[in-house]
Chains A and B, each alone.
Chain A
Amino acid sequence: MNRRNFIKIMAGAAVGGAAIYKGLDSFGAEAAAGEAQTLPAKHWGMVIDVSKFQGTEDIKQIAAACHQYNNVPDIGKADHEIKWIWQEDFEHTFAELESEYFSEKIQKMQYPVLCNHCENPPCVRVCPTQATFKRADGIVNMDYHRCIGCRFCMAACPFGARSFNFVDPRPHIEKVNPELPTRTKGVVEKCTFCVDRLEKGEMPVCAEVSKGAILFGDLNDPDSEIRKVLGASFFIRRKVELGTGPSVYYVIRGGEASA
Chain B
Amino acid sequence: MLEQALNGSKRYYALIGVLLIMIIAGGAAYLQQLYYGLGVTGMSRDVTWGLYISQFTFMVGVAASAVMVAIPYYLHDHKAFGPIVILGEFLAVAAVVVCMLFVFVDLGQPARVLNVILHPTPSSVMFWDLCVLAGYLLLNFIIGWTVLGMEKKGFPPPKWVKVLTYVAIPWAISIHTVTAFLYAGLPGRYYWMTAIMAARFLSSAFAAGPALLIILCLVLRRWTSFKTSVEAIQSLAKIVAYAMIANVFFFLLEVFTAFYSQIPGHMAALTYLFAGIDGKDNLVPLMWCAALLALTGITLLVIPKLRRNEKVLVAALGAVFIASWLDKSIGLVLGGFVPNAFGKVTEYIPSGIEIMIILGVYAVGLLLLTILYKVVIAVREQNAGFELDE
Contact = CB atoms under 8 A, between A and B. Distances in A.
B is bound to A: yes
Given A151-B106, A157-B341, A160-B342, 4 more contacts: A128-B115, A150-B126, A184-B109, A186-B37
Nearest to A242: B187
Interface residues of B, number: 43
Interface of A: 78-81, 88, 91-93, 95, 122, 124-131, 146-152, 154-161, 163-168, 184-188, 239, 242-244
A185 B108 contact: yes
25 contacts: A78-B44, A92-B342, A122-B187, A125-B123, A126-B186, A127-B124, A129-B115, A146-B112, A146-B115, A148-B112, A149-B108, A149-B109, A154-B48, A155-B189, A155-B336, A160-B46, A160-B341, A160-B342, A163-B45, A165-B108, A166-B37, A166-B44, A167-B37, A168-B37, A244-B187
Nearest to B108: A149
Contact of B186 (A81, A92, A122): A122
B2 interface: no
Contacts of A79: 44-46, 346
A152 B108 contact: no
B108 A148 contact: yes
Contacts of A155: 48-49, 183, 186, 189, 336-337
B312 interface: no
A166 B43 contact: yes
Contacts, number: 137
A153 to B, nearest CB: 9
Contacts of A188: 108
A92 B48 contact: no
Contacts of A92: 342-344
A187 B108 contact: yes
Nearest to B112: A148
Given A79-B44, A129-B115, A165-B37, A147 B121 contact: no
A125 B36 CA distance: 29
A237 to B, nearest CB: 14
Contacts of A152: 124, 126, 182
Nearest to B128: A128
B188 A80 contact: no
Contact of A80 (B44, B113, B182): B44
B124 to A, nearest CB: 4
Nearest to B36: A167
B246 interface: no
A112 to B, nearest CB: 13
B18 interface: no
A211 B286 CA distance: 51
B108 A130 contact: no
B38 interface: yes
A149 B126 contact: no
A26 to B, nearest CB: 24
A160 B345 CA distance: 13
A149 B115 CA distance: 11
Contacts of B171: none
Interface in B215-234: none
